[in-house]
Amino acid sequence: MRNTVMMRSNDNVAIAIHDLKKGDHATAEVCVNEAIPQAHKVALVDIPKNGVVRRYGVVLGYAKAAIKAGDWINETSLILPKSPELHDMPYNTNIDTDLPTPPRTTFMGYDNEGSDYAGTRNILGIQTTVQCVVGILKVAVKKMKQDLLPKYPNVDDIVIISHAYGCGVAIDAPEAKIPIRAVRNIMKNPNFGGQLMVVGLGCEKLTPERVMDEADINDDNFILLQDHHGFQNILKALYAMAEKKLAVLNQRQRVALPLSKLSVGMQCGGSDAFSGVTANPAAGYASDLLVSGGATVMFSEVTEVRDGVEFIAQRIPDKPNCDKLAQEMSWYDHYLAEGGVDRSANPTPGNKAGGLSTIVEKSMGSIAKSGAAPVSQVVSAGEIPTKHGLIFNATPASDFVCGTMQLASGMAMEVFMTGRGTPYNLEAAPVIKVCSRTDLKEFWQDLIDINAGTIATGDKTVEEVGTELFNFIIDVASGAKPVAEQLGLYNDICIFNPAPIT
């Protein structure tokens, strides 16, 4: 059995497939000099002080001290290289249109008249304008699920789209456009079937005209709690509106649709050094199958791709989208600097425990989930794409923030890769969980859907696991439930808000 795995022929480190003891062979020529944990790096050659440490064919960092072949390399061993420049990035230099042919070209989804995208679920979404209304809505929705939902068997769920925005905020601050855009767009998610139900309090700054089209601001779609006399009358008003929406949604039926109607988000969290070897490349292959079939796939996480940004730019065919990529990265550089942190704040402690030493290493593994397809468009966080194909959606890397902002951009389901393990899930869209290691699948067998660890051991190829994942994506889009959905594990919505709170 192999003890290590290398990514590129010019790498001077390899990754331990399992825990290695002093004296174990890293390769036929190199024995390890000390115990090395699973997923961590072992030097394959002598590296002098300030010498290059290379994985994925790129510089992860520079050696703080001389390193011998067989030594353990971790986050304490390396000096972080400079971040890539954003000016005049080459684009249109790596356009791969020879994508794999998908084995299936349709799914059973909920079509939305006048919309580019279909739902994978049939949900009544209740959008809030302010956190103040959430307490009453939680009580109301609990009763609605008991009393109303059984009367409408074609409706999957009733979901509150809550957030901490709307009150005590600098509503006209320049960056307020980001959370307002997200609140405005999330209610357009294809899983909500075009049925608007917006609930406000009455004194908040986030007034309906900021988040709704003028034609939609009426008593059929919008309720102010302060307009109603007491709790019981508030409940009656919420019930009456919800029942009208449920009756419409109940008429929706799953129908065969082309993949061009499907929008899928890709995200990774709790990553380890195997994420870029197994789970993310398999997701990238599944992404290429989807894009080849006409679907839209979003990948995100600005801070986790910033140090590999030139590899994204090379796959963008046109200058306007390359410029938009540079603008989004530059905005985030400034945002971090204003907060007194830099890119070294990522990776997380769990990432480091899983063998990810620097953000460069994490970036290269993160980008792998985007496959090889050209990037057809770059969009801001929470912005709805106007093109199909592979989309870079410039969201933060935080799992629940990224997922929320992808929901606002119209994703109807998400694929989530993990190396350390996470129960993360969304209530408004199903989430498939893919793990990077077989031992994680065995440890969390009832929380993981797809095991990509078989790639590291050589039992399966990236293409085989990627095709398995593609088929499961189509199944879930057609109604099958991933394990987190079966268990009812749901994270809170978390809208990105860089604007001041007053």
Domain positions in the chain:
1-82, 117-249, 261-433+479-487
Q: Which of 27, 76, 69, 30 is nearest to 46 (CA)?
A: 69
pLDDT of residue 310: 96
Which tokens in the block code for residue 302? Answer: 């600005």
Residue 247 to residue 227: CA distance in whole angstroms: 25
Q: CB of 494 within 8 A of CB of 401?
A: yes
pLDDT of residue 341: 84
Helical H segments across 428-461, by residue range: 438-443
Helical H segments across 188-300, by residue range: 208-211, 230-249, 279-292
pLDDT of residue 168: 83
* 229 residue type, one letter: H
Which tokens in the block code for residue 491? Answer: 């994270």
Residue 419 to residue 435: CA distance in whole angstroms: 6
* Neighbouring residues of 400: CB distance < 8 A, sequence distance ≥ 6: 424, 491, 492, 493, 494
pLDDT of residue 195: 94
pLDDT of residue 229: 96
pLDDT of residue 114: 87
Question: CA separation (Å) from 176 to 170, 412, 473?
Answer: 7, 25, 34
Q: Which of 327, 375, 315 is nearest to 86 (CA)?
A: 327
Residue 192 to residue 428: CA distance in whole angstroms: 8
Task: Give the CATH class of 117-249.
Answer: alpha beta
* 148 residue type, one letter: L
Residue 111 to residue 256: CA distance in whole angstroms: 9
Considering the segment(s) 1-82 as one domain, its CATH architecture is Roll (2.30)
Q: CB of 480 within 8 A of CB of 427?
A: no
CB atoms within 10 A of CB 58: 20
The pTM assigned to this predicted structure is 0.95
pLDDT of residue 79: 94
Which tokens in the block code for residue 484? Answer: 């987190």
Q: CB of 120 within 8 A of CB of 476?
A: yes
Q: Phi and psi at residue 380, in whole multiples of 5°?
A: -75, 160
Q: DSSP secondary-structure letter at 165?
A: -
Q: Walk along the chain (502 residues) in steps of 10 and give the mean pLDDT of each run.
A: 90 96 96 96 98 96 97 94 93 96 98 95 97 96 97 97 89 93 96 95 93 93 96 97 98 98 96 94 98 98 94 98 97 92 80 90 94 98 97 96 97 97 96 96 96 95 98 98 97 92 84
Residue 464 to residue 330: CA distance in whole angstroms: 38
Note whether 1-82 and 117-249 share their fold. no
Residue 61 to residue 73: CA distance in whole angstroms: 11
pLDDT of residue 101: 98
